[in-house]
Every structure is written in structure tokens, then in C-alpha cells.
Amino acid sequence: MQKKSLYIILASVLTIIIIGGVYFAFFRKDNNPITGLPAGWHHETTDHFTLDLPDGWKLKKEQGIDSYVGEITHKGTKLNYDFGMYSDSLERDGSASMTLNHNVSYEMIHGKEARVVTPHQIGSGTTGVHFGNIDGKNALTITGQNLSGDDQATALQIFRSITF
């Protein structure tokens, strides 16, 4: 009789563990189990790259002369993108080195090296990413100016979602 009770308890515990695992794998709030996107985010695809945006953020193509340009907007926040041969490399801020007023780091984002720039003081300067030599001749740069802390954090998440 005691052995039977022990098996019932073990079976119950195992069932709870399995149900809990299934719940966290399929119903957690941070990521969609099918797309892998955070809740409230969606994919956007352009002619040259794909990125993920939070709901409410919009991607808008604009007319460029020698490159593919546009903006990503949400309320008063704007990020500009430029895909082409002459995209800003984010090495200089006017006549000064970008490192004078900005943090510059290098990351691998989905297999591509990227230069990521953030201002030393949040809300005062450029937040951006630059992917050089994507296809042998073109680069992609996305920048925002004077972003709030929340918008800067969102911009960095967007940058890290970019694929080609």
C-alpha cells in the first residue's frame, strides 16, 4: 500500500513538472514560441534587410538618390536608415572623432560585424548602428538623435534584430 502511494505522489509531481514546462515553453509572455519575437513585436522586411519592431513603430521608405533610405517612427521618435555605398560609417561626429562624446562598440549581429554607437549622456547625441560591406559594396546605417533612455534601449533591441 505504501509503495502504491509513493508512485502516485511521484507521478503527480512529474505531471506538474511537465505541465509547468509546457506552460513556460508555449505561453510565457516574453517570447512568441513560434516566431521567437518578444510579445508585442513584429517583423518588417525591406528590399535589403529585415528587422523586428515593437507594435506601434512604423517603417517608412523614402526617396533616395543613390541609396535605399527611410525612417522608423513611433510617436515623436525617429530613426533614419540608409542602405547604400555611401552610408555614414559612424566614425565621426561632425569634425570630431565619434569616441569623443559617444561610446563605440563592435558586436556580431546575426553573423555580421556592426559598429554600435551610444552617447555618453543619454538624450544628447547619436544612437546608431553601422554594418559595413554587407554585400561587397553596400552598408547599412541606422541612427536616432537625442533619444530618451527608453527609446535608446528600444533602438538597440531593433538594431540587434537586423538580418540580411
pLDDT tens readout for residues 110-133? 999 999 999 999 999 999 999 999
22 and 94 assigned to the same domain: no
Residue 164 within any structural domain of the chain: no
Query: pLDDT tens digits, residue range 21-44?
Result: 444 444 444 455 555 788 999 999
141 and 87 assigned to the same domain: yes
Residues 6+ apart with CB under 8 A from 105: 115, 116
DSSP, collapsed to helix, strand or coil, labels residue 94 as coil
Residue 48 within any structural domain of the chain: yes
DSSP, collapsed to helix, strand or coil, labels residue 12 as helix
Spatial separation of the C-alpha atoms in residues 158 and 109, rounded to whole Å: 11
Q: What pLDDT does residue 20 have? A: 46
Domain that holds residue 88: 41-159
Q: What pLDDT does residue 26 have? A: 42
89 and 23 assigned to the same domain: no
pLDDT tens, the chain, 164 aa long? 576 666 666 555 555 555 544 444 444 444 555 557 889 999 999 999 999 999 999 999 998 888 999 999 999 999 999 999 999 999 987 777 888 999 999 999 999 999 999 999 999 999 999 999 999 999 999 999 999 999 999 999 999 999 99
The structure's pTM equals 0.78
16 and 84 assigned to the same domain: no
Residue 35 within any structural domain of the chain: no
14 and 48 assigned to the same domain: no
Residue 52 within any structural domain of the chain: yes
Residue 9 within any structural domain of the chain: yes
Q: What pLDDT does residue 63 have? A: 87
Spatial separation of the C-alpha atoms in residues 88 and 155, rounded to whole Å: 17
How far from chain centre, in Å, is Cα 129?
10
Beta-strand (E) ranges in the chain?
Answer: 41-45, 50-54, 58-62, 67-74, 77-84, 92-93, 96-97, 102-109, 112-119, 126-131, 139-145
Residue 135 within any structural domain of the chain: yes
Residue 146 within any structural domain of the chain: yes
DSSP, collapsed to helix, strand or coil, labels residue 143 as strand
25 and 49 assigned to the same domain: no
Q: How many domains does the chain divide into?
A: 2
DSSP, collapsed to helix, strand or coil, labels residue 52 as strand
Residue with cell 549622456: 121
Identify the H or E element spanning 24.
Answer: helix 2-27
Q: What pLDDT does residue 128 have? A: 98
Residue 36 within any structural domain of the chain: no
Instruction: Report the amino acid identity of residue 142.
Output: I
77 and 98 assigned to the same domain: yes
